[in-house]
Amino acid sequence: RVLDLRDPSLLTGKAYVGGEWIEAPDGRTIPVTDPVDGALIMEVPDLGPETARRAIDAAEAAQKAWAKRPVKERSQILRRWYELILANVDDLALILTTEQGKPLAEARGEIVSNAAYLEWFAEEAKRIDGDVIPGARPDQRIVVLKQPVGVCAAITPWNFPNGMITRKVGPALAAGCTMVLKPAAQTPLSAFALAVLAERAGVPKGAFSVITGEARPIGEEFCRNPKVAKITFTGSTGVGRWLMREAGDGIKRLSLELGGNAPFIVFDDADLDAAVEGAIISKYRNAGQTCVCANRIYVQETVVEAFTEKLVAKARALKLGRGTEDGVAMGPLIDERAVAKMEEHVADALAKGGRLVLGGQRSDLGGTFFEPTVMTGITQEMRVAKEETFAPLAPIIAFRDEEEVIAMANDTEFGLASYFYARDMARVWRVAEALESGMVGVNTGLLANEMAPFGGVKQSGMGREGSKYGIEGFLELKYVCLGGL
């Protein structure tokens, strides 16, 4: 597949290790394909743990000097990277859409809103303030320094091929850490393109490397290599659990952004049209393939019919197609495995008494296109209520009252995002405080931005990305006791 890029040098099939663009030593490659039709876009290197080690060595060699650079310089380099991303957003979006499938406008939105994490952390780099605390004795003072944790390893998923990277590398580099990244095998081209721009922005050799290859051996190297101080991961809860175990021996710092099972609650005092709008964005954005997508839609009995009718009308109007075509609102699912899970969840719900009111099957477009789907008569016993569907299925569950819906919403091991629509102020506070999740959207279906702490509780992970809190995971506290004063 030939991409019509303004700057063709942004599209590369080479990995970036220690400031060099490399192929696999044995020449092995992995194909990257377009999810629309499976066409080959490009081959990328199939690298093993030895190359991961090389990248880690380079990151270690670069780290001390990077941390010693005047903070203003680190800040300016990040800022320059941010500006280069904005200047090249059309090309980056085309690369993203081609390897991932989301509509071009969504790809652009992902890139711009997540490049903002580079801008934000370029600013935060200057505010890594320590503390001076009165001493326990009159001749002592307690000084608290914040220092970079050191070499970091990042593993990112395919659903936000660009955005998941900038929100991790931004705070790491700002803090004075260096980073080795392994992007998802489905979407490495966006990662390489970001590395091209990082190099142009002046990120020094070794401070940021990007390697592709089989996930597990590289993951093991990240977890076992004593030079890696911290691992930051976004992906499934299963892999997060595995990383936590593997990294346990080395007591590595971990940030984990894992799966969600977001409840989306509509109370009877809500603005129904706004709630439908929010549900459409939260559910069908990226064809339902985001960890903060509404997974269970709870609607109060008295308004469930009206809400369903409006939701179906809007969902039906979503146009499926290739992400580069005009007016397309939903692309294909990433692969057959994703379609299989969607089909299993629909079949399970049907077998247990659920009803299809829209979609429920693959689209005529073929491939991995799946129709926007709405189901009613859903109960807590169905798989759609327990597992993350990660696909365009809106399961509607009717509820009686606030107490019941909070119990249902919290009845999950996940705790990433929650959403609810209500207008009564007392209810807004009560429900926001009662929901067991790291993030709560009240009267909005979109939460993430660089100024807010993104992250989960329970088995949805640990650590936060974005905001003043987002840099803390890349810093260690050092207490210096000044005595003899």
Residue whose C-alpha is closest to residue 128's, from 80, 72, 76, 178: 72
CB of 441 to ligand ADP, least distance (A): 22
Q: Which among 79-87, 234-242, 314-322, 361-369 is the span making contact with ligand ADP, rule CB under 6 A?
A: 234-242
Q: Which of 106, 110, 257, 436 is catalytic?
A: 257
Q: Which among 129-137, 233-241, 363-371, 450-458 is the span making contact with ligand ADP, rule CB under 6 A?
A: 233-241
Instruction: Out of 13, 49, 157, 415, point to the residue binding ligand ADP (CB under 6 A).
Output: 157
**Spatial separation of the C-alpha atoms in residues 443 and 274, rounded to whole Å:** 7
Write out the two tokens for 118. Answer: 């580079």
CB of 378 to ligand ADP, least distance (A): 23
Q: Which residues pair with 374 in a beta bridge?
A: 358, 394
Site string for ligand ADP, 418-457 (x = CB under 6 A): ----------------------------------------
Q: Is 242 among the residues that bind ligand ADP (CB under 6 A)?
A: yes
**DSSP secondary structure letter of residue 151:** E
Site string for ligand ADP, 286-325 (x = CB under 6 A): ----------------------------------------
Instruction: Out of 188, 219, 323, 461, point to the residue binding ligand ADP (CB under 6 A).
Output: 219
What number of chain residues touch ligand ADP (CB under 6 A)?
A: 13
**Spatial separation of the C-alpha atoms in residues 240 and 255, rounded to whole Å:** 9
Judged by CB under 6 A, the chain residues 167 through 196 that form the site for ligand ADP are: 182, 184-185
Return all residues near 270 (Cβ < 8 A) that are at least 6 apart: 303, 421, 422, 423, 443
Query: What one-character-per-residue DSSP string does 412-441 give?
Result: SS--SEEEEE---HHHHHHHHHHS-SSEEE
Q: Is 235 among the residues that bind ligand ADP (CB under 6 A)?
A: yes
Q: Is 215 among the residues that bind ligand ADP (CB under 6 A)?
A: yes
Q: Under DSSP, is residue 232 helix (H, G, I), strand (E, B) or coil? A: strand
Residue showing the smallest CB distance to ligand ADP in the complex: 219
Q: Is 35 among the residues that bind ligand ADP (CB under 6 A)?
A: no
Strand order in the sheet with 417-421: 355-358, 373-376, 393-399, 294-300, 262-266, 417-421, 439-442
Return all residues near 238 (Cβ < 8 A) that are at least 6 apart: none
CB of 184 to ligand ADP, least distance (A): 4
Q: Is 236 among the residues that bind ligand ADP (CB under 6 A)?
A: yes
H-run or E-run covering 303: helix 301-316
Strand order in the sheet with 20-22: 20-22, 15-17, 208-210, 178-182, 151-155, 228-234, 253-257, 461-462
Q: How many residues does the chain have?
A: 485
CB of 231 to ligand ADP, least distance (A): 9
CB of 255 to ligand ADP, least distance (A): 14
Residue 185 or 272 having the CB closest to ligand ADP: 185
Q: Is 43 among the residues known to form the active site? A: no
Q: Is 155 among the residues that bind ligand ADP (CB under 6 A)?
A: yes
Distances (CA, A) of 176 to 255, 345, 365: 17, 45, 48
CB of 387 to ligand ADP, least distance (A): 12
Give me the active site residues, please: 257
Q: Which residues contact ligand ADP by CB under 6 A?
A: 155-157, 182, 184-185, 215-216, 219, 235-236, 239, 242
